[in-house]
Amino acid sequence: MDTRSPTPSSPLAELGRRNALAEESGGPERRERQHREGKLSARERVLLLLDEGSFEETDKFVTHRCTDFGMGSEDKRILGDGFITGYGRIDGRIAFVFAQDFTVFGGSLSETNAAKIVKIMDTAMRVGAPIIGLNDSGGARIQEGVVSLAGYADIFLRNTLASGVVPQISAILGPCAGGAVYSPAITDFTLMVDKTSYMFVTGPDVIKTVTHEEVSKEDLGGAATHNEISGVAHFMAQDDAECLAMVRELLSFLPLNNVDDPPRRPCTDPIDRADPELDTIIPADSSQPYDIKDVIERVVDDGYFFEVHEHFARNIVVGFARMNGRPVGVVANQPAYLAGVLDNDASIKAARFVRFCDCFNIPLITFEDVPGFLPGVQQEHGGIIRNGAKLLYAFAEATVPKLTLITRKAYGGAYCVMSSKHIRTDLNLTWPTAEIAVMGAEGAVNIVYGRELAAVVEKTELVEGPLTAERRAEILAAARSRKVEEFRQQFANPYIAAERGYVDAVIQPRETRRRMIAALEMLDGKRDKNPPKKHGNIPL
């Protein structure tokens, strides 16, 4: 056996030289600049994201083809061309990844590195595995002109074709501007890092020129802006490491593709665990708030709820949890914020989450406490009719197992929208505290009993003579209070709906976990489908 070391001119030596050059990327000075800015290098990110020793790189020696603007010189042809692509494993499951390397031409997109991404995405589609993009780029490579733009379009097409087939996750770990933002926008989840990442279609300089508005990059498109105001981003991390850990955690709830089931984990939390605290968690006064997350955490495995879109449209809560080890998607009105009403942002946020869960076979659990849709000119002009219909459409279209629990209020059209029995929800439960009605008792009494209340005041005046304003108000308030209680007993309770089969059971709150897990086990073999069609026309 020949054990001699390869000579400098040998094939093995050449391979080693090229590997070293490719991994050098933009050089130590530029990598150090990344570190000073609180950012990891592209290769560090990939290795931190994937299981140790699992990364297999592809197209490592690709270089660009541009010869204009001195780009054809040897020192401009950097192996890999500013993008790292390949595959590896996350918690032992296969995943495909690409990472933009800001140390090479600012991570700009060229014809050749776009082809690298397209190749990875096509392979992921054939294999049936998630696609993760680590974005840190200055945008299109100007020297390459339209071929760079064509590269973006090629990627957008793959994002669209992969949508609903394999999970797609975008981590924004630096700049992402111009047309580049539309690839993350199509993907299922977008994560950003506070203070070091930003996204916008047009930057501050262009905005100042066109509209004369002055705004910083952070205020225009920083992580806080897109997590709290625009809703473009779903998660906000404090640094690259936390962001990549979030990606790994998110994937732990998701199947590899649309024909797989979500991964189950062993569960040590008893499935019949009763929680007496739930029996008193709803305030006696129905106008008082409570935190729906307290309810969710008392029901799901080990009290662990992985919230999505935490900072956006906080009047509705969405996220992932497990029930007896099975991943579920949770949608819940939040009485602690705007009384849990549905508005434009909340409707869109929940609709997109419901559709994602339906794409990837993740059962849906809805916790309902909704007083209706938010009234106001701004909401109507903002399209609350269209946006509320999006959530209605999403729930009605979904064929995964669906459970709904009404904890307190379920009023008006919002009752219908929030996964009611009438739109194919499999099991609808309520607590005894549920109020199911066309509207709240206070408002209903004013409409239904308005004349009767006025008559009470008039009769009292006949007996007592002319009344002072204070006495009149006192009589009216007492009469209204009686009618409100009468309305609640006759109409705003769960038993009217139960009598008609609109809810399947009124349960003790402490039994919620056991009943939901039993229902999910019963629905494990559910098979449902929509009428044959190319696709529906959701009211976008």
Per DSSP, the residues of 396-431 read HH--S-EEEEEEEEEEHHHHHHTT-GGGT-SEEEE-
Closest CA relative to residue 132, chosen from 23, 255, 49, 44:
49
Quick one: how far is CA 336 from the chain centroid?
20
Q: Which of 233, 414, 441, 497 is catalytic?
A: 414
Kind of pairing between the strands at 435-437 and 316-323: unpaired
376 flagged as catalytic:
no
Instruction: Indicate the helix (H) or strand (E) that contains 366.
Output: strand 364-370
DSSP secondary structure letter of residue 316: E
Instruction: Compute the distance between CA of residue 319 and CA of residue 307 in angstroms, rounded to an integer.
Output: 4
Closest CA relative to residue 333, chosen from 409, 439, 250:
409
Q: Which are the contacts of 213, defined by CB distance < 8 A and separation ≥ 6?
A: 207
Q: Which of 128, 179, 203, 325 is catalytic?
A: 179
CB atoms within 10 A of CB 100: 27
Structural tokens at position 469: 């304003």
414 flagged as catalytic:
yes
Q: Is 372 helix (H, G, I), strand (E, B) or coil?
A: coil
Q: Which of 26, 178, 231, 440 is catalytic?
A: 178
Q: Are 320 and 354 in contact (CB under 8 A)?
A: no
Q: Which are the contacts of 320, defined by CB distance < 8 A and separation ≥ 6?
A: 250, 253, 305, 306, 308, 327, 328, 329, 330, 362
Q: Which of 128, 164, 325, 413 is catalytic?
A: 413
Q: Which are the contacts of 354, defined by CB distance < 8 A and separation ≥ 6?
A: 329, 331, 364, 391, 394, 395, 398
Q: Are 371 and 438 in contact (CB under 8 A)?
A: no
Q: Which residues are catalytic?
A: 178-179, 413-414
